[in-house]
Structure 1
Amino acid sequence: MKTYHGSCHCGSVRFEADIDLGAGTSKCNCTICSKMRFWAAQVPSSAFRLLAGSDTLREYRYHTRRDAHYFCRHCGINTFSTGDSPALGAFHAVVLASLDDLPVEELLAAPVRYLDGRNDNWVAPPADTRHL
């Protein structure tokens, strides 16, 4: 477990999160994750702290409106999403690309779990993951 710091591109949104990259990361093939090239680490919401930018964040929900994707209204960067799952309860999915102090070596060593969100199948990976 390590505390990482992240931000949007313009720096208006800043946060920190306690993340165990060894526990794995996720990439999803649903329509929004595919377009954003979403690569995240899910943490319990208690492990996430928004430091600045609550007034700058905008929320986007689609389809089932279950999960919320947050982005900076100034630069448009998605830094995290929120949701609720049976395994984690309330969670924050931290966008790994928004972490300012994540060494590339740690990112490359992190296991990746592929999710078939496009088919609402959260227990098996999609048939093809090369594009994710």
Structure 2
Amino acid sequence: MHYKGSCHCGQVAFEAEGEIQGGLTCNCSMCSRRASMLWFVPRDKFVLTTPESAASSYTFNKHAIEHHFCANCGIHVWGEANDPQGNRIAAVNLRTIEGIDLSKIPVQEFDGRAL
């Protein structure tokens, strides 16, 4: 499936390719505050359709994940990191994807506070 999405103001927009089989929520200090629901795809299946300079980045704790958000409206759009096998992945905020019914997506809860 091919998906499109963006932040609230549209200055950070993207396209992503893959099957949404579920979302992940996390209770770490970052995720619990922003209330995102994440979908993981290979980074090469996530393409920005707007300039990367429209997004700001933030890292914290172990600085392993780059959290990207719109510099204008502040919406968290995606994060980037390496998975345990060393593959680059994008953690797309499902709440920024157009035309999907979030109530139909199974959600897995991750205990990020325990890390």
Interval of TM-score (by shorter of Structure 1 and Structure 2): over 0.9
Q: State the 4+ residue runs in structure 1 displaced beyond 4 angstroms.
A: none
| Structure-2 residue corresponding to 1:20 | 19
Unaligned residue ranges in structure 2 (runs of 5+): none
Q: Does 1:65 align with 2:63?
A: yes
Match of 2:75 among 77, 83, 91: 77
TM-score normalised according to structure 1 size: 0.82
Unaligned residue ranges in structure 1 (runs of 5+): 121-132
TM-score normalised according to structure 2 size: 0.93
- Aligned partners of 2:86, 2:16: CA distance in 1, in Å? 15
For residues 93-132 of structure 1, the aligned pairs below 5 Å read 93-102=91-100, 104=101, 107-120=102-115
Identity of aligned residues (%): 33
Q: Larger relative CO (CA 8 A, sep 6+): 1 or 2?
A: 2
The RMSD of aligned alpha carbons is: 1.3
> What is the CA-CA distance between 1:114 and the residue it aligns to?
1.1
Higher mean Cα deviation, 81-90 or 6-15?
81-90
| Structure-2 residue corresponding to 1:8 | 7
- Aligned partners of 2:50, 2:67: CA distance in 1, in Å? 17
